[in-house]
Amino acid sequence: MAASPAPIAPFDGPSVCLFCGSSEAADPVYTAAAAAFGNAAALAGWRLVYGGGGVGLMGAAARAAHAGGGRVLGVMPAFLRSRERLFDEVETLVVTSMHERKQIMYDQSDAFVVAPGGIGTLEEVVELLSWKRLDLHGKPVIFLNVDGFWDTFFALMRHSVETGFTPPSFLEAWVVCDTVEAAMAALRQDAAEDGLKYDQR
């Protein structure tokens, strides 16, 4: 039987989960935005919950939050330790699977910010939005839409509405912010709001 992850240190403040890419080949503007978000979250007293890696946008955000004096919680599947290079200067849980990783990140977070990323980031946010569509949670979901990165995803969601697969109300299930400052403002406004209202079938 696999060992259970170590207990998570208590934290009394709010926590924000950042979904973002781990690629080192990403445009530096995206990496800079992730670092700026990590720093802003730390200064605002938010614990940063993230995928545990030390590379790409993930590593930039975690390092900036840590350097800014903020609390950071990483959650890393064991099989990704070498690929995403565990950032062990912050509290990190090593778990057995991607499903366990996502569940812990969800459970430990009050809100979610989605920065640019690849298929892994897309998979994470689609599952999160699917849960919201089914009224399984009402936590805020904020897209950090740097340079319009997520515009084509929003177009797909509108197409899903136009073709009758998704109710128009679901387009209100997330907030889009073009800057880190706007994302932080949305966190302050939305984190106190909770409501299960998107499954209107």
With 90 as the cut, is the pLDDT of residue 114 above it?
Answer: yes
Q: Which one is predicted more confidently, 84 or 133?
A: 133
Q: Which residue ranges make up each domain of the chain?
A: 15-190
**Confidence at residue 196, expressed as pLDDT on a 0 to 100 scale:** 38
Sign of CA dihedral 5, 16, 136, 115: negative
Per-residue pLDDT tens over the stretch 34-44: 999 999 999 99
Per-residue pLDDT tens over the stretch 134-165: 999 999 999 999 999 999 999 999 999 999 99
Give the closest residue to 189 by CA, choosing from 72, 111, 108, 106. 111
Sign of CA dihedral 94, 96, 102, 106: negative
With 90 as the cut, is the pLDDT of residue 80 above it?
Answer: no
Give the H or E element holding residue 161.
helix 151-162
Q: What average pLDDT score do residues 78-85 get?
A: 71
In this structure, CATH architecture of domain 15-190: 3-Layer(aba) Sandwich (3.40)
Confidence band of 84 (pLDDT split at 50, 70, 90)? low
